[in-house]
Copies of this chain bind each other. A is one copy, B any other.
Amino acid sequence: MQRDTRQRRAIRHVLQHFGRPLTPEEVLDHGQRIVPSLGLATVYRNLKILAREGWLSEVQLPGGGLRYELADRPHHHHFLCRSCDQAFDVHRCPDEIEELAPDGFEVDSHELILFGRCAACA
């Protein structure tokens, strides 16, 4: 059974507050403003738990580890800023995308990532 701790509340709050995929490091930084003693291992454990429960989804963008975002969002893709390394949502998607695979390949999902400079860095 899931307990409602200050740490877990802070982690959930951070992910709800930012509407974009966050790295564990980002969650830690912002979570520590709410619960200063928050530890990195706790962040990793809770992100995994919340993802397993279906409350978060794992986003695998290039260049390292997983990022996490709220799972209740409609289908979308991501923009990754080369300057600040923040990820943003892109809410449009070309629909014929999964038809592109070679014959004999079964596609079950897809990811589309745009690279460049975000509005703040441009």
Q: How many copies does the complex hold?
A: 2
Which residues in B have their C-beta under 8 angstroms from that of A25?
none
We find that the number of chain A residues with CB closer than 8 angstroms to chain B is 37
Which residues in B have their C-beta under 8 angstroms from that of A114?
97-98, 100-101, 105, 107, 109-110
Beta-carbon contacts under 8 Å, A97-122 to B: 97-98, 100-119, 122
Which residues in B have their C-beta under 8 angstroms from that of A49?
none
Contact with B along A32-47 (1 / 0, CB 8 A): 0000000000000000
Determine chain A's interface SS by DSSP, over half rule.
mixed
B112–A112 CB distance below 8 A: yes
A79–B101 CB distance below 8 A: yes
B100–A97 CB distance below 8 A: no
When C-beta atoms are compared, the residue in chain B nearest to A111 turns out to be B113
